[in-house]
Amino acid sequence: MEHNKLEGIIPAVFTPMNADYSLNTGLIEHLAKVLTKNGVSGFFVAGTTGETTSLTLEERMELAEVWRSHTPSGMKLIIHVGHNCLSDAQKLARHAASIKADGISAFPPSYYKPLRMEELVSYCKAIAESGNGLPFYYYHIPFLTGVHVKMHDFIRTAKTNIPHFTGIKFTNNDLMDYRLASTYGKNKYNMLCGLDEMLLPAMTMGAKGAVGGTYNFAAPLYIQIIKAYENNNIETAQALQDKSIQMIQILQQYGGAITAGKSIMKMLGIDCGPCRLPLRTLTRKDEETLQKELDDISFFQYAIK
């Protein structure tokens, strides 16, 4: 793996919680060991899957510290520091630098949205400058933030204005924009696929690394997709990606990769606890029907062990 380049499967990790919704940081050591054993390349902490907007600054910094202490040598630790309040985002970036994270990422403010490219880049610049030299990854997730800009246009401005700009966590299904951004500057920038159901097509567009929520419990499935593609076994890779899509379709019926995902982790023996409101926590009945639907597509043979 190149210096500062993220490759392979990187789970956007869950935030473990106790029954009273407090952080359960005691579970992180075990979670890190299981994910490492299952072949992931690093951890993306306090992102969307980690319920970032439902966490306090203090909780986000605590999570970063605990993950840092349990991230094995050679594994990458990326801390999401985005926040609607710029000074809070800068504080998180300084903290990530102080614990020697391997990079920071930030999505844009979603209430007072940046309406022009100049405003978006200025926001990212202010955060990146607070990262004390850490690689900066812009977190592009327009269907949640409402900030719709083309990433190949963003790179054109970001490359000379955002210190240590390294790449993008590209959580969008615009493959044309993904390809244009990937090839900008002769593949200089690290374009991380952020949609798990899009991993295979993203690889055909140049993806080497991916960050996603379902990698927490289905990392082996996606690692098989990567291996099949690299070995030119395209039909196998397609069949495995179809399995991912089937699984994600089921999750969407139960609230998505966070609400259903935490329940799946419990089925696999790693109880990450409830979700904080406004996200719901599945009932036992919901979990039983979810497990049956996943059994029906033979999902668990592809799950973490």
Q: Which residues are part of the catalytic machinery? A: 139, 169
SS3 content of the chain, % helix, strand, coil (to 5): 50, 15, 40
- Tokens representing residue 101 in the block: 């994270």
Contact of 66 with 46, CB cutoff 8 Å: no
Contact of 115 with 79, CB cutoff 8 Å: no
Cα dihedral 169→24→89→261 (10° resolution)? 30
Locus of tokens 């969307």: 48
In angstroms, the CA 108 to CA 104 distance is 13
- Tokens representing residue 216 in the block: 């927490």
Cα 40–Cα 239–Cα 290 angle in degrees, nearest 5: 70
Cα first-last separation, the chain: 25
- Characterize the bridge pairing of strands 42-45 and 190-193: unpaired
Contact of 138 with 106, CB cutoff 8 Å: yes
